Structure formats: C-alpha cells, structure tokens
Amino acid sequence: MYIFIWIVAVVVCIYAIVKFIKYRPLTPFMPYKYNFGKRRITFRKTLDLLDKTNSKIIVETGTSRAGLKGAKGDGAATIVFGKWAKENGAYMHSVDISEESVRGSQAEVNAQGLNEYVTVHLSDSLVFLKDFKEKVDFLYLDSYDYSKDLEVQRLSQEHHLKEFMAIEGQLHENSIVLIDDCRLPNGGKGKTVIAYMLKNDWKILIDAYQVLLVRKGFKF
Ligand SMILES: C[S@@+](CC[C@H](N)C(=O)[O-])C[C@H]1O[C@@H](n2cnc3c(N)ncnc32)[C@H](O)[C@@H]1O
C-alpha cells in the first residue's frame, strides 16, 4: 500500500515539474496563468538585469496589441516591463504605428493600473526614436512584423536596424537591448541589427528566440 502511495506521489511530482517547465510562466512576477513560452528565459534574465542596473527608462517598439492575451504569441512585453516599471520607480514608453494596436495595448495598460508608468505612443517608431531626448536604459525592438515573404523579411530586418541607429546616441554603457523574433527563417527581425551591433562594441548575452545584448564593457 505504502509503495503504491509513493509511486503515485512521484508520478504527480514529475507531472507537475514537466508541466511547469513546459508551461513557462514568469511566476511569481506574473500570474501563473500567462504562458510566456519561448520568451520566458530572456524575459527573466532581462528583468534580473533591470533590477541590477536600476533601470529608469524603458523604450519598446511595437506595442502589446493583444494585451496579456498575447503573452504566448506576441510576448505582452508592454505589460511585463510596464509592471516592472511600476514596481521599481521606472517609466516605459511603447510606440506603435497602428491605431488598433495602440488601442489594444492601452486597454490592457488601463486594466492593469499601469497608466502612470507607461505611455503608449501612436507614431512610426523611427520618427519617435529620432525625437527621443532621454537616455534609454532598456531598449526592446519588436515592431515591423516578420513573415515568410522574403521581401517582408528584408524590410523588417532593415527597419529594426534603422530603429537601433535612430536611438543609438541615447544608449549608454550599461544599456540593455532585447530583440524579439530572431530564431526565425533567415535570421528573423534581429539579423541585420545584430550584425551591426556586434561590429560596434556590443556582445550577445543570450542567443535564443530573443537575443539579449549589452556593451562589451557592461558592468553587471
Ligand atoms: C509583434 S507586435 C508587438 C508585440 C509587443 N512587443 C508585445 O510584446 O506584445 C508588432 C507591432 O509593431 C507595429 N509596427 C509595425 N511597423 C511599425 C513601425 N514602423 N513603427 C511602429 N510600430 C510598428 C505593429 O503595428 C504591431 O502592433
């Protein structure tokens, strides 16, 4: 009888561990029900670095149009990093060219009580970034949607490079850069901008579905 109970207990534990690993939540920071899938490890590491570097200004290109419902598909970064901003006296700017995306993101920002810590700007990211005057502690590049179409891939890669170049002057020696949707055919959104960054004093910390980069002299 005891052996039977032990076997059931072990099976339940293994099941729970496998489910936890597969489900990839960002608990306890975000509620367990949101599955951050392939972004969980890079989000976790980025949150750790935001803590360590005491980041104050966060800029995201491409906003969380689906709110937290998009945790698995899009990432819901506006809400994840907006929540971090709220809890750490920081501020987040998220910019998007689509009125619909801005509306969707703003609705979730409101629902999560993040209005005082997050502004969702309606603008082309390049225009917004060129005008941005503050130093940026964390830059998250995730705008121009990637697709199977080769021309769209090229335009998306070029756009993310242009975004980086537009804000490059506002990055400092301990800035953090995260680029989404990189492990996709032909290098994903990050291919061109990462090549540029690696030639210009940046190094890769994590190379996964998202690529996390810091400067070679990063102190943390
Ligand atoms: C994948 S979604 C962003 C997902 C979001 N970062 C998240 O974590 O949930 C891409 C967004 O980029 C926006 N976008 C596309 N081109 C843009 C541009 N030139 N400037 C700003 N936003 C752009 C789209 O409207 C779309 O809402």
> What is the per-residue pLDDT across 194-211, written as a single tens digit (0 to 9) for each?
999 999 999 999 999 999
Per-residue pLDDT, 18 = 67
Per-residue pLDDT, 2 = 79
Indicate whether residue 144 lines ligand 1 (CB < 6 A): yes
Per-residue pLDDT, 19 = 64
Per-residue pLDDT, 129 = 98
C-alpha of residue 17 to centroid of ligand 1, in Å: 34
Indicate whether residue 105 lines ligand 1 (CB < 6 A): no
Per-residue pLDDT, 21 = 63
pLDDT tens column, 92-127: 999 999 999 999 999 999 999 999 999 999 999 999
Per-residue pLDDT, 134 = 98
Per-residue pLDDT, 172 = 97
**Does 2-215 carry CATH code 3.40.50.150?**
yes
Low pLDDT (below 70) residues in the chain: 17-24
For the entire predicted model, the pTM comes to: 0.93
User: Which among 205, 183, 210, 190 is positioned nearest to 75, based on CA atoms?
Assistant: 210
C-alpha of residue 65 to centroid of ligand 1, in Å: 8
Per-residue pLDDT, 182 = 98
